[in-house]
Chains A and B, each alone.
Chain A
């Protein structure tokens, strides 16, 4: 049973470049969440997606950040024109849906983005 997979595990970009982070949820899970962890901070919610739909993007910066979860393939978090402040660990989680404890989130190992 494969858990949540994220790639790449480490990503280095120069200022102004684009970063694409991928997340494959647990097989059978249709809900995906993206979180950002800044150094010595807790996880901050960014966006919640179901297949082909953005359910809640209240934690996403208004500019440069976008996310998708297509019908086929992984979820993608895209950061355009990266700046040094985007350097962080980005975690993806997936859940099966449902309510309460049935909707437990399983976390991936994260992608550590470094912007030079």
Chain B
């Protein structure tokens, strides 16, 4: 079956880099996503990567994919207090229904 695992909490100091990790089990995953959920809000798609890529960079965000180990990470450079949120990893085999992890709460402190 499909399963997406990620650690529940991460605490970083403002200005440092944050790295949020995720592992998945479905080897047929085609799209891998990172979503951000701020308090009281819905999920916002941050970035995604195709399974035939191993890295994608978008401003302060870097996504790394190790397909062999089924490991996905999201690096946020120069983390700011506004980055505090829950970050969800999700994977999809190309169908319309992504499978979500439980989310990682990122806490940024001064």
Using a CB–CB cutoff of 8 Å, the interface residues on chain A facing chain B are 4, 6, 31, 33, 40-45, 48, 56, 91, 93, 95, 99-101, 103-110
Contact = CB atoms under 8 A, between A and B. Distances in A.
A110 B101 CA distance: 18
Given A42-B101, A42-B102, A43-B88, A103 B96 contact: yes
A108 B42 contact: yes
B64 to A, nearest CB: 20
B4 A48 contact: no
Interface residues of B, number: 22
Interface stretch (B43-51, B52-60, B73-81): B43-51
A33 B8 CA distance: 25
Contact of A104 (B30, B45, B94): B45
Nearest to A56: B97
Interface of B: 4, 8, 30-31, 35, 40-45, 48, 88, 94, 96-103
A56 B45 CA distance: 23
Contacts of A40: 8, 102
Contacts of A4: 42
Nearest to B102: A42
B101 to A, nearest CB: 5
A98 B39 CA distance: 31
